Amino acid sequence: MRRDIIETIKLSYPIIIAQLGVILMGVTDNLMVGRFLGAVPLGAAGLATSLSFLVTSIGVGGMGVVSSLIAQAKGQKNDIEIGRLFRAGLRVAVLLSVVLGMIGAIIAYFLHYFGQTPEVTRLGQPFMYILSVSTVPLLLFVAARQLADGLSFTRVAMFVTVSALIVNALFNWLLINGIGFFPKMGLNGSAMATLLARIFMALAILWYLFSNKRFEKYLQLTKGLELGDLSKKILRLGIPVGFQFFFEIAAFSLAVVMIGWLGEAQLAAHQIAISLASTTYMMATGIAAAGAIRVGKAYGEGSLAHVRRAGTAALMVVVVFMGFWFITFLVANDFLVSLYLKDNPEVTRIAALLMVYAAFFQLSDGIQVTALGALRGIVDVNIPTIITLIAYWVIALPLSYWLAFKYNMDVSGVWMALSAGLTFSAIFLTFRFYHLASRRRIRAGLVKPPKANL
């Protein structure tokens, strides 16, 4: 088990850094918007970002299944299938990005129906339009990185994402304030910075993959081969996985809407706390992705014992990792909140309290997303989707409204309800993985090596 833990850490830390880079783009946006523009634009940016991420989560989560399939093909030593999966993944990414981008733009058009203050709606609408356009380069990047991640070359996406973080921070500063010959775009400048950073990410990783000899054989072997069957397979497996992410993110995004009904101070405070909690969550998804890759490779090799060990190692790593953030959020809540706002005592007080709640659901959040990754590695997608649906839409969201408005617990009630949903999901997804991993007939369910002439 010690070796499995070490291998999981070695595989996951570049993914964690890459995931951290993605979420830090949002944190950078919030920091600069809060510092330069104030609490109301911060709330508007938070609302638009949450709703946009809600829509794109279907594609981002769904494309993650490709790395698991590539890891399985690697375990079967099927180079042709690896290349076909990569090309089919790019095709699916284009399709999903167009569809999801249009849905995001439609939501932005009807943003006034979400019951927010007129100023938040006015500022958030154009911000979300720009984010909807950025869905195309975002999903192309996510699809392209699956090849490197699935083959365990996880540093590729790490370097690209860290570079993009610098690009995003630079353009935030230039476009919000209108530095030099750059136009002063205010809040929309932050959204435009995100768009430019995502374009950079997509172009950079595609250039690397197609120019590096390490990946040449996977690309050359598959030129001209039919990809329709694999595109359908990725959609068939990826859509349920995407909805697993959607159900959780929807609970948090719709919680933003509910909190907006409570007031602008609560909305701004929630945005500060959730941006920090989302940072640790996205880092945990790096461990989950590593777990999915290792479980998928063991699944492709036909090793039931390795499947269990790979999943257990990922769960052990995430418990230690999220335990660290549990302590950090408890003891440094005031300091972390102070990074966002300078002079707003009410927002600061509420946000510091919410950080305490965020500390307590760190473990559940990390465990549930890692269990999802392990299940993705053994191609179990339908039952986990139902579990996440119940956790967030049957438990978390109704309970949020009940505690916040019926029991007058305000924003604290919303966070308690979200914690309950996360805990339910963590328990049942973990049970599901070990239930399947202990059944001998899982071996019979292993995918057969695809035919080279398909």
pLDDT digits (tens, 9 = 90+) for 176-207: 988 988 889 988 999 999 999 999 999 999 99
Residue 412 has pLDDT above 70, yes or no: yes
Residue 442 has pLDDT above 60, yes or no: no
Q: What's the pLDDT tens digit per position in 394-403?
A: 999 999 999 9
The pLDDT of residue 279: 79
The pLDDT of residue 453: 35
Burial 328-364 (b: 16+ CB within 10 A, else e): bbeeebeebbeebbeebeebbebbbbbbebbbbbbbb
Beta strands in 277-340 (DSSP E): none
Residue 430 has pLDDT above 60, yes or no: yes
- pLDDT (mean) for 407-422: 91
Share of residues in the chain with pLDDT > 70 (%): 95
DSSP per residue over 50-102, as a string? HHHHHHHHHHHHHHTHHHHHHHHHHHTT-HHHHHHHHHHHHHHHHHHHHHHHH
- pLDDT (mean) for 44-56: 84
Residue 454 has pLDDT above 50, yes or no: no
SS3 content of the chain, % helix, strand, coil (to 5): 85, 0, 15
The pLDDT of residue 448: 44
Q: Evaluate whether 50 touches 256 at the Cβ level (below 8 Å).
A: yes
- pLDDT (mean) for 171-178: 91
The pLDDT of residue 258: 87
Taking the domains of the chain in order of start, what are their residue ranges?
Answer: 2-445
Q: From CA 249, how far away is CA 115, in angstroms rounded? A: 19
Residue 449 has pLDDT above 80, yes or no: no
Residue 208 has pLDDT above 90, yes or no: yes
Q: From CA 172, how far away is CA 176, in angstroms rounded? A: 6
The pLDDT of residue 444: 40
Half-sphere exposure of residue 230: CA atoms within 13 angstroms, side-chain side = 27
The pLDDT of residue 446: 45
pTM value is 0.80
Q: What's the pLDDT tens digit per position in 224-249?
A: 566 778 889 999 999 999 998 888 87
Residue 451 has pLDDT above 90, yes or no: no
